[in-house]
Amino acid sequence: MANSNHTSNINIIDELDVYHNIINTNNKCVIKFTGSGCPPCKQIQPIYEQCSINERYHNKVHFLEVDVDIGEEISDLEDISSLPTFVYYHNGQRINEYTICGAFSSKLIANLDALANRT
């Protein structure tokens, strides 16, 4: 199921087929892997939400979020071992050098800028 958060442009994903569909039909995606008991995940959430509604990324980057406890198939597929983890996709291909493990807002924003400007 994909749900949209009303205070942001983040789609909450918990089904593998929906995940595959979104990353394969959207040119540029960033996925935040999170967990309900993760303090760093909660710390960076407002920044992630602000980025999702920032004009700089509007119509350029698709923002997703996966709770690893609910979307276990997805987190297993992406080999998520720490939280939060941010995974970036361009044209259906994961960009491994952009992956961030941890709540590093400057890296998150730098990688979003790089992704948004990718051709």
**In the annotation, is 51 catalytic?**
no
Q: Which residue has the tokens 């939400």?
A: 49
- Give residues with Cβ within 8 angstroms of 17, minimum separation 6: none
Alpha-helical runs (H) found in the chain: 16-25, 39-53, 72-77, 105-117
**In the annotation, is 38 catalytic?**
yes
Task: Tell me which residues are annotated as active site.
Answer: 38, 41
